């Protein structure tokens, strides 16, 4: 605020805008929520922050476009326009590997299935381990050994166990000619492993950190041991559980891309990425990268929204 440059910039503006200008911060320029968080920011600030959000990406895209034109080797560094061209035609079939959209959908399906299994198992086991000492003591060594293991390392094992089995086959449907035929159990298993440990460890920490006072209060009000799980352990550790779910989902999305890039995969956005790269189609590679990044961001944002809605009380315990 002592910087004369900003003060000079503000002097010609109406007073309320000047007022709004005072706590000028980088966070505001980039459009992050700032300040005390009370009430809504005036509209002029919103317009400016969404403009602020746009500036840096637009400049980078421009540099990219100019540099690519200057380099003129699109198989290494294609111009933005060609990547955008791929992105606006997501249904275009690429050789025999399907389209950007269909492969993305397959990857998402695998992730969601594996993640759901991981969430249920992770939360259940986390609560059990956190609240019952015998279970915790007997399982902790196993968890500690398996947890640091990169989920991808499970892939050979998973393929050996599940062979090429798919979800419909598991339920005796055989080949269904649907997208579910692409949901290989081995893939789902690896995703499961990826999501399971973040959910488990966060839930465990959450449950272990439940204030004893809340357990005493519940018991004093007549809660039976089983009721403590549902009405104290679960809600009290919800902030940590949701953190675990968010981390877990993020990791699942990481893992599926890596898993699909390995030999043996035949579909998925990760597969399309490596396939396009083998065919020197760098525009498709970059388009796939942008899609993967975008979906990762959307998933993370979604989880954050759900979290803030579910646990408004978090950090305000009295």
CB of 246 to another protein, least distance (A): 19
Q: Is 311 one of the binding residues for another protein (CB under 8 A)?
A: yes
Task: Pick between residue 182 and residue 243 the one whose CB is nearest to another protein.
Answer: 243
Q: Is 318 one of the binding residues for another protein (CB under 8 A)?
A: yes
Residue count, binding to another protein (CB under 8 A): 24
Which residues lie closer than 8 Å to 227 by C-beta, 6 or more apart? 218
CB of 48 to another protein, least distance (A): 33
Q: Is 235 one of the binding residues for another protein (CB under 8 A)?
A: yes
Which one of 88, 91, 160, 220 is in contact with another protein (CB under 8 A)?
Answer: 220
Task: Pick between residue 145 and residue 226 the one whose CB is nearest to another protein.
Answer: 226
Beta-carbon count within 10 A of 108 CB: 16
Q: Is 164 one of the binding residues for another protein (CB under 8 A)?
A: no
Task: Pick between residue 223 and residue 258 the one whose CB is nearest to another protein.
Answer: 223
3-class secondary-structure state, position 184: strand
Which one of 105, 214, 229, 254 is in contact with another protein (CB under 8 A)?
Answer: 214
Which one of 43, 133, 177, 312 is in contact with another protein (CB under 8 A)?
Answer: 312
- Tokens matching residue 263: 């030999």
- Tokens matching residue 255: 């893992």
- For 29, 59, 110, 287, 314, the CA distances from 56, given in Å and listed in that order, are 11, 5, 34, 19, 34
Closest CA to 113 of 19, 36, 189: 189
**Exposed e or buried b per residue across 275-287, where buried means at least 16 C-beta atoms within 10 angstroms of its C-beta:** bbeeeebbbbbbb
Q: Is 236 one of the binding residues for another protein (CB under 8 A)?
A: yes
3-class secondary-structure state, position 290: helix
**What part of residues 244-283 is at the interface with another protein (CB under 8 A)?**
none
Backbone dihedral angles phi then psi of residue 166, each to the nearest 5 degrees: -115, 170
Query: Footprint of another protein on this chain (CB under 8 A)?
Result: 211, 213-214, 216-224, 227, 231-232, 235-236, 238, 311-313, 316-318
């Amino acid at each position: 605020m002592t910087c004369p440059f900003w003060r000079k910039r503000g002097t010609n503006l109406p007073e309320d805008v000047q007022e709004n200008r005072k706590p000028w911060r980088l966070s505001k320029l980039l459009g992050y929520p700032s300040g005390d968080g009370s009430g809504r920011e005036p509209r002029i600030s919103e317009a400016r922050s969404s403009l602020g959000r746009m500036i840096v990406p637009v400049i980078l895209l421009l540099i990219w476009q100019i540099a690519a034109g200057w380099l003129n080797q699109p198989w290494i560094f294609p111009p933005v326009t060609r990547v955008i061209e791929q992105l606006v035609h997501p249904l275009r079939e690429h050789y025999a590997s399907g389209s950007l959209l269909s492969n993305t959908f397959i990857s998402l399906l695998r992730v969601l299935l594996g993640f759901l299994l991981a969430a249920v198992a992770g939360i259940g086991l986390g609560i059990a381990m956190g609240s019952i000492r015998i279970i915790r003591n007997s399982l902790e060594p196993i968890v500690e050994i398996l947890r640091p293991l990169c989920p991808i390392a499970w892939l050979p094992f998973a393929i050996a166990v599940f062979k090429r089995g798919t979800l419909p086959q598991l339920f005796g449907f055989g080949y269904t000619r649907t997208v579910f035929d692409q949901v290989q159990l081995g893939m789902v298993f690896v995703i499961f492993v990826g999501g399971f440990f973040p959910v488990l460890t966060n839930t465990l920490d959450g449950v272990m950190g439940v204030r004893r006072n809340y357990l005493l209060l519940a018991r004093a009000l007549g809660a039976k041991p089983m009721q403590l799980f549902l009405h104290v352990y679960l809600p009290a550790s919800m902030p940590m559980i949701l953190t675990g779910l968010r981390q877990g989902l993020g990791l699942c999305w990481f893992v599926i891309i890596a898993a699909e890039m390995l030999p043996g995969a035949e579909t998925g956005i990760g597969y399309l990425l490596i396939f396009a790269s083998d065919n020197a189609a760098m525009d498709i590679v970059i388009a796939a990268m942008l899609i993967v990044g975008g979906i990762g961001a959307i998933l993370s944002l979604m989880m954050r929204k759900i979290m803030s809605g579910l646990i408004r009380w978090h950090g305000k315990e009295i």
